[in-house]
Amino acid sequence: MNDALFWNEEGIIYYKAGNMERAIENWRKAACLGNASAMFNIGTVCMRNSACSDDLIIAMEWYERAKKAGHKNADFQIAKIKRMLEADDCIISDSSPKFPNLELPYKREKLGEQSFLILFEDEEKMFCLSEFIVAVKPYHNAEEATTWENCSIRKWLNGDYFNLFDKAVSERIICKRILNLDNPQYNISGGSVTNDRVFLLSYLEVVQFLSNGNAYKTDTIDLMRIHDDDFLRKAYLKLIPIIQSSSKCEMIHDYNLIDGKPIGWWLRTPGELPSKAMRINCHGTLRTYGREVNRELVGIRPALWIKKGEL
């Protein structure tokens, strides 16, 4: 192994361990030796921790260096920063009670009281994801090893939640064969194939359908890219009236504290342990190590396949 590759991999090890200072120190050593991935990684850290436009400019400078050194994804990040600077969207604020007016590149489908984004469609059917988080619940009711097949949120989604749809909608929702992939980074089993009318997204569905510019379209995983913030993955709590009236008493926190603000949401893929599940955090970052399955303050964003037709 050459020195540049060694220092870059050392940086990734410290990054995964949460020691950002040592990670950057090692990446700087690799960058000085011309390693494009190390330059890209420093830019990613600077971008993620940006508090003002100056920080974003520093991040862009690192991406420019990575581009010159041949990194294939640097152009994508440079363009993203330029859009942020033009929009003056440099600081993420969680204090506003209003929903952002995001121009997402998806068509919307109204199903009853809920708004869904159409991630994919053909002549007969649509793959839809709830535009908003509809509830805040644990993935499972106990901190124990589980899979999507056996978790409590699957039962809720295909029971109480599914029953919120009227007959005209529910008869169009397709019972789909669902593949439950292993965690690609920690090799934790995703469990058996299931058949579901409503489900959570897998990490690969997020990578394929919820990436800025649909840049991935691949089964491969780039460690730094999947941990990068992406506005397409941000979701906001917006309880539909029937859930708010019937289920609010079951929650241990006050929804008014987070209503209208971005919060994290569960994926069905396992995390770094069988007792954890992957999630998207409040900034739109895919967290492959996940959260404990009985964690309270993570949102539910239902997905489903539905036949095309008039409501």
Length of the chain equals 311
Task: Give the H or E element holding residue 276.
Answer: strand 276-280
- Structure-token match 């589980």, residue found: 146
- Classify burial at 187, counting beta carbons within 10 Å of its beta carbon; exposed 0-12, middle 13-18, buried 19 or more: exposed
At residue 218, does pLDDT exceed 90?
A: no
In the predicted model, is pLDDT for residue 99 greater than 70?
no
Per-position b or e across 65-97, b if 16+ CB within 10 A of its CB: bbbebebebbebbbebbeebeeeeebeeeeeee
Residue 138 per-residue DSSP state:
-
What percent of the chain shows pLDDT beyond 70? 79
What pLDDT, on a 0 to 100 scale, did the predictor assign at position 81?
82
- Hey, where are the domains in the chain? 3-87, 107-307
Q: How far is CA 208 from CA 12, 226, 269, 310, in A?
A: 24, 11, 15, 28
User: Could you write out the DSSP letters of every residue in 84-137?
Assistant: HHHHT--S--S---SPP----SSEEEEETTEEEEEEEE-SSEEEEEESSB-EE-
Question: What does the mean pLDDT of the chain come to?
Answer: 81
Question: How is residue 79 annotated by DSSP?
Answer: H
Average pLDDT over residues 22-50: 85
Residue 6 pLDDT: 85
18 in Cβ contact with 48 (< 8 Å): no
Query: What is the band of 96 on the pLDDT scale with cuts at 50, 70, 90?
Result: very low
Instruction: Flag whether pLDDT at 11 surpasses 70.
Output: yes
Is residue 206 within 8 Å of 278, Cβ to Cβ? no
pLDDT of 149 > 70? The answer is yes
Q: How many helices (H) and strands (E) does the chain have?
A: 10, 11
Fold classification of 3-87 (topology level): 1.25.40
- Comparing C-alpha atoms, which of 20, 11, 67, 10 is closest to residue 40? 67
pLDDT at 207: 84
Q: Which segments of 1-54 are extended strands (E)?
A: none
Residue among 1, 11, 87 nearest 44 (CA): 11
- Which residue is it, tokens 């037709």? 309
The predicted structure's pLDDT at residue 245: 52
pTM score of the predicted model: 0.65
Angle at 200 between CA 108 and CA 261, to 5 degrees: 65
Higher pLDDT, 108 or 226: 108
The helix (run of H) or strand (run of E) holding residue 57 is: helix 53-68
Which of 246, 301, 276 lies closest to 143, judged by CA? 276
DSSP 157: I
Average pLDDT on 175-196 reads 93
Query: 276-302, pLDDT tens digit by residue?
Result: 999 998 888 888 889 999 988 889 999
On the question of pLDDT at 100 being above 80, the answer is no
| pLDDT tens for each residue of 59-90 | 888 899 999 999 988 888 888 888 777 655 44
pLDDT value of position 97 = 36
For residues 227-232, average pLDDT? 76
The residue type of 192 is S
